[in-house]
Each structure stands twice: as structure tokens, then as C-alpha cells.
Structure 1
């Protein structure tokens, strides 16, 4: 078995791992990075993401940043536990330190760490620009210029130039621990399944969630999750070993293991993030040609998770978005569709049903009932217009216009997993906490390996948290001594 030594070993070469690596290198630490993929596909989800950022300026988080996280920070937490978090962290009961919820110490570190990390990244050539997310209601925000790929292509050469050794096609399989259960390195296997032991004073798990592991997905999210797939190729590399090896070492779990962030995609497409986000403007039916949800109850970006859950629960996890030519009344609606395949088209509803292999009579009956329930009103695509159905279950609460102007269009849709929520509990310094509320010496985690989300995704924060806590981990590691031979 090959043996190596470094001050820091980082599992994962995405935004979190690269941020931590560069910070550590700038502090004079020696760094080894492990990456399951080959170099051309390295970086996990980061390589494929649009890298939207919940910012109001190049270095400021939005005004609702803390409030949105606070509203989605955990479930049914005892009031005395909440009250304990108003005191100094050192006085918190151990059960609270290990509790599965987003504690204010971590949230404050996140919000306060964003300006510094973005300024630091811009100094290294990464640009932040104005952007928006392609939903029916325009949502202005910011993003990394060039998306997550720009993070990979900018930072990877820098960390290599500064001396980091990057081991591609190498998978971490376990933590090295000493007699006092301190983490002192990691075990891995290379592409030839030859073992490697890397001895290090600090180990950083920045290797994503478990959306690429069908067993873990179904185990934690439930049977219907078998119908979902990662939204992009990078997610397939996220097998959950980082989470599992830490849990095996006594780490406390955190985040919502029963849920994940989902996006609606074209079920036919092999394209990365083949999004179909115009669903609130049409009608959705399942394989039995039955409607099963309100397609537009509120702002689409707020209710994205629920529509995706409802689709996943249908037979085979497949549904069909039905549109007519009135969709063209919505300016630039095609920007909300990122599939490389055109919609299924037919001159009649009967013909569309036949092409979709849906029961024709039921399909026509469902659309007729919907059309008859639509209450006339002025169509206003830039706001929730309140144009709704009456006497129909489930209702449609906004943009409810009859589907009656051919040719008719359809997209077969499914829910995809953007990333999982369940992960590890950490301190504000990105140190992993055990089930007794104590820090596991030598072990850090950042990015999607950490559990901070519950139920509803706080949009446009995934890349931010990876970059921020990767840097926080690196800065804390910089204060630790190097491994003594």
C-alpha cells in the first residue's frame, strides 16, 4: 500500500474543496486532494452548476438571507433547546451542539463569511455578475461568470501551481484514526484499486451528498425516489462515502435526510440540467391522463420542490406538461426550457394523447374539464394574476387559461435530484461534531457534505456555502500545527 503525508487531505475537487485547498496553500500548508472522477469531469456538481448566488451586490447577501434559513432550519425543535442557542456556544448543552438543525452560530458564520470569500475569489480572477433564474416570475440575483465550470477552471490550475497534489480517479474509503479517535488521515483506492494511506493533520470532506447512490437515496428519501436521477452528470459521482465514513466515526448527522433539492427536467433528454420551468403556465397530467396538483399556487421558485415531489409520486415518476399556442403570449418562455429536444406536438388533443401514449378519452375529458373551469380574466405574466379555475380539484390558482389553441405541445417531465440535504453536523469553523456534541479532532466538512437544509431549499446558496465554508475550514486549519513525523 502506498503511503503519503500532507498537512491537509481534501476529499473532493469542487467549489468547497478548491476553496479550502487554496486557503490552506496560501497559509503554507501542504495539500493532497482526492477526486473520484477523471480530470475532464472533476468537480462534482460544481462543474455543471450555473452557480447562482443569493446576493444583492457583488459581496452582500440578500436582505432575506438569514430569515429564509431561519424559517427552514429544522423540525419541531424543543423551545428550551432554541433558548440555549441564545447563549455563548461554549455553554450549550451537548445535546444541542449535536442536534440536527441549522444553529445560529453556523448561519451567522455563513452570512458573515460571504463578503470576504467573494472578495478573495475576485482577487483570483473569478467574476460575479448580474443574473436571473428562468422561472415565470423574473427573479433577479447574481452568479459566477462562467458558472461552476469557471470555478473549476480558474482555481484548479492555481492550487496545482501552488503545490497541491491532485489524485484523480481516486476514491476515499475510510478515515485513519489514532488511539484517541482523532482523525489523522484517510484511506483511499486508485483507479487500479491499489490502496493509498494519506497521513494528515487535517481531513476535509468536501465530496458532496449521496444523490449518486441509489441505495442511500431510497433508504433516506423513500421508495418514490427510485424514479429520480441526478440533474447533472456531476451528481452521479456523489456516492455518499464521505458522509458514511464520518458517521461511522461517530459524527452527528444533520440536515434533512428525508428530502433533497429537486428540479423539473425533460425526461427524454440526456442534457445536463434539461430544465422545464414553464410548468406553471400549463397543465400537468400523469400517465393516467389525470391532473394531480395546482400547477401555479404561488411564486414558482418558492413552490418548485412541491411540484417535483408530486411528479415523483406518480406512476413511474413521469408526468406531462401540456401547453397550447397561447404560451407564446409569455415573452421569451423558451428561456425557461433548457432541454435540447423539441416538445411533442400535435394539431389536436386526441393526436397529442396518441403521441404521448396516454388514454385518449381520459386525456380529452381531463383537458375539457379544466377548460370549462377556467374563469376569464386578464392574463398578466409578470405577476401572480389570480386568473384561476372554479369548481375543479385540484384547482389552478394563477395563469389558468384554457388549453384550446393548437398546435398543442407537451414535455414529458420528471423530478431530478439537484443535491441531497442530509449530511454532517459541523461547528461554525467547519469542524465535524460527534454525537456527544464534541468536535472530532482533525475532521472538517464543507459544501453538500454538511447538512444545513430542511424541507425547502433556500435558493441560490449551494455554491455560496461551498465556497464560504471551504474557506472557513482552510483558515481554521491554517491555525493548527502540521503533522509531526
Structure 2
């Protein structure tokens, strides 16, 4: 019987644990969180899945990944990466980029993995989302990420998986170049294979400052589960020569209300107002397109402002947007005033500068047909930065304001893997006995391919377990 140690109990770790146990392996799962608070980010997410059916990924899945597949890759290496994988050089195999071999594995196994999760007791449906306007299709598990964690935890226990909560992995144990176990805060665990599924480093301020920069002090995890993700899995693998992958200087950004302590208090209504920084100035196009496709780029601009904060300003026209409150997930009320100067005073903006900003914006708005549920092309004229859609003057009370900061949903930098989720070394070769899945994998660059992270965890957690349990050659 093969013995497998899995670190982390989010969707990646639980998918790996259940798969390995079903294939007859002896499985120990360790997690620093206590029982009942485990599950990492998965526990708190609605778990959007970029699928057009239970069996097929969304039509834009591959195109979006490849449009954000890395930096400016050497053309010679790019040419290698479109040929058969067996002929790649060490440079191509270890290149920091999303390679087509890995992406192909992701696409091929997405539907198969969801069918397997269905067999484990989960159900899926095209449920309403927080996005008022959208460009792609999203499937959701009924009950969200919490249902995933609870259902798979019980299935794992029934299959004989041993859980060791409040146990933190510290280092990998190796012998003759092979990973043979893991060192934890409660002793060493020997294993035939180790699967690292313990998240990124969004809960580690030192790593955030090192990779993202000093402004990372203005970030916070989008939900409580992210605080448990302190980057040890990435660090311990890099320490034994693993290849890095993904955009270490970036992260998945989401606009949230900093006053709220609830999980993911997102503010997705900003396309229907203006965003101003602490100086009272606009600084970005609030509505370049549908909110689901552009909220991350807008949120990154918020992060770049002084103290990493901005204010969404709206007037009574917000009420013309059907069901706008579904895009405002905070549990804190808007600040409301009868006049714009009064609102400026409430939120601490320089009144004169703010008034000039609103006057310029209002003067740049033009007449047209306001269509809130589709990109309407109702844009400003002769204004910088422009507003490309839903631009209407702010003139009618009540005036409302919400503060917005960038949340760090998860970090992009992680480990490079192959199609079986084996961790590769700096020469592009698999490190014997070491696998990784979920956020510990580096796969995103520049812009997040939305609604793929939970799917990434489930797919590669399962593929890692299938391979190290001996079910796949």
C-alpha cells in the first residue's frame, strides 16, 4: 500500500485525498487550521467554475489563458512549446509560462473531475452570480465552496483518510534526490509521495512585501481562509530546487469594502458611478466593459492609489440598475448625503478638488440610451481618464459613497508542474515523490482567468493523486 501525505484541506487537498484513498493508498492530510475552520479559501468562496456545461469548459477558457500566459517569452522557446512535449529542451520545460501541455491537461480533465465530484455527492447548476454584466459562462456547486469542503471531508473520513489538524508542514524530507516525507510541527511523516496543496502566500506579510512590494501592507486576504496560507509549501519546494512559475509579483485582485469583516465583501457596482482617490481625483476608466471581465484591472488601479483606497460615488441614478444590490456584497451601509459637498465632508475628501472632478465628469457626459445590463457605449467625451460605458452625470440626491480596497484573493506565484501535477525542478524534470495542486501551483500571469482557481485545485489535486497512487503511468 502506497503512503501519501497531503498538506492542505481546500478543494485541491481534499480532491487529492479522496482520490488517493479510493485508489487504495494510505493517506494522511495535515492542515494548520483547526477542524471546522479548515478548507482554506475554498471554505469561503462561492466557487465559480468557468464551464459552459458540466462536461465542457467555457468557449473563452483557452484563449484567455494563452493571452496571459507569461511575459515576453523568447520566440525560439515559444516555437519549441508548440511541438511535441517529448522534444522540449530543459529551458522550455522549466520556462516560467503557461505551457500548452499543461493547459491541455487542465481542459481535458475539467469535465471528468466535475463528474467525479458529482459522484462524491456534490451538485452543480448555473446559479445567479454577483456580476451584473458578464461575458462568459459560469457553473457553481450548489452550496458553494463550503459544500465542497464539508462533502469531501466526510467522504475522505469514510474512505479512511487520517486528518491531522492544527499541524503545520515546515520542510520536505529528501533522500538521494527523492522526497520521502515531510517535517511538521508535530513530528516527521514518512511517505512514498507528498502532495503540497497548502495555498499561496497571501497570509504572509514578509513574502508579500518581498514579491509584491511595500504597498502590500494595504492588501488583505479576501476571506478568513487566506490568512492560513503563509507560503511554506512554495518555499520548501523552492528550497530543494523546484522551478518557480506564475507571476510572483502579482495576485488575484478583487474590490472589497474594508469596513466589512464578512467573507468576500465585494463591491461590483463601481461601473455605475465614479471612483475617486483620497485626493478627490478620478484615476481610471470605471467601466471599460462588463464587470466580470474588468473588475480585476480596475481594482489594481485602486491598489496603486495613495494608501491603496478609493471611493465609489453614485447618485440616485444607481437605482435605475435592476437588482444592483446583488453586486454590493458588503454588510456595511453606504455613506449617504443630500449634497456632494456634504458627502465629501463625510468621507474626508478635499471639497474643492472633489467638486472640480465631478463638474468635469458631468460636463463630459453625453445624451444617450442608458442600458445597465449590457455595455451601452454611453461614454464621456474629451475627458481623461474616460468612462467607456454607463456614463451619466451625478446630479440627483441621494449621493452615496462606499470605500473600496483591493483584496488579495490568492497570489499568482507558485511551483511549476507537468500534466500529472508533478513538481518540476529547474531543469524541467520531475522531482521524484513531489506533487502540488491548487494555489501552490503557479499558473496565472498579468490577469486572472476568472472562475478557474477552484477548478484548478480540483483537477490537479485529482491528477496528482491518480499519478502518485499508481493509477496513471
What is the aligned partner in structure 2 of residue 165 from structure 1?
A: 162
Matches of 1:401 and 1:434 in 2, distance apart?
A: 54
Matches of 2:84 and 2:403 in 1, distance apart?
A: 52
Cα displacement string for residues 101-152 of structure 1 (whole angstroms, at most 9, x for unaligned residues): 0111110110000111111111111011112432331454211111110011
TM-score, length basis structure 2: 0.97
What is the aligned partner in structure 1 of residue 402 from structure 2?
A: 411
Determine if the alignment matches structure 1 residue 40 to structure 2 residue 42.
no
Determine if the alignment matches structure 1 residue 55 to structure 2 residue 51.
yes
What is the aligned partner in structure 2 of residue 16 from structure 1?
A: 12
Give 2:113's match in structure 1, choosing from 112, 117, 130: 117
Determine if the alignment matches structure 1 residue 66 to structure 2 residue 62.
yes
- Give the C-alpha shift of residue 168 in structure 1: 0.6
Matches of 2:366 and 2:110 in 1, distance apart?
A: 46
- Give the C-alpha shift of residue 258 in structure 1: 1.2
Contact 1:347 1:407 in 2 (8 A): yes
Determine if the alignment matches structure 1 residue 239 to structure 2 residue 230.
yes
DSSP 3-state at the match of 2:110? helix
Cα displacement string for residues 217-242 of structure 1 (whole angstroms, at most 9, x for unaligned residues): 12111222221111111111100000
> RMSD value over aligned CA atoms?
1.4
What is the aligned partner in structure 2 of residue 354 from structure 1?
A: 345
Contact 1:136 1:280 in 2 (8 A): no
Cα displacement string for residues 335-366 of structure 1 (whole angstroms, at most 9, x for unaligned residues): 00000011000111111111101112222221
- Give the C-alpha shift of residue 391 in structure 1: 2.1
DSSP 3-state at the match of 1:284? strand
DSSP 3-state at the match of 2:36? helix
How many matched pairs?
471
Determine if the alignment matches structure 1 residue 99 to structure 2 residue 102.
no
What is the aligned partner in structure 1 of residue 24 from structure 2?
A: 28
Give 1:434's match in structure 2, choosing from 425, 437, 441: 425
What is the aligned partner in structure 2 of residue 291 from structure 1?
A: 282
- Runs of 4+, deviation exceeding 4 Å: none
Contact 2:134 2:293 in 1 (8 A): no
What is the aligned partner in structure 1 of residue 104 from structure 2?
A: 108
- Give the C-alpha shift of residue 480 in structure 1: 7.6
Matches of 2:471 and 2:112 in 1, distance apart?
A: 21
Contact 1:132 1:138 in 2 (8 A): no
Cα displacement string for residues 49-102 of structure 1 (whole angstroms, at most 9, x for unaligned residues): 111011111221112211211111111111221221233322210111111001
Matches of 2:312 and 2:91 in 1, distance apart?
A: 47
What is the aligned partner in structure 2 of residue 129 from structure 1?
A: 125
Contact 1:208 1:447 in 2 (8 A): yes
Matches of 2:128 and 2:179 in 1, distance apart?
A: 42
Matches of 1:124 and 1:27 in 2, distance apart?
A: 14
Matches within 5 A, 1:387-402: 387-402=378-393
What is the aligned partner in structure 2 of residue 220 from structure 1?
A: 211
What runs of 5+ residues in structure 2 fail to find an aligned partner?
none
Name the stretch that deviates more: 382-391 or 211-220.
Answer: 382-391
What runs of 5+ residues in structure 1 fail to find an aligned partner?
190-194
DSSP 3-state at the match of 2:52? coil
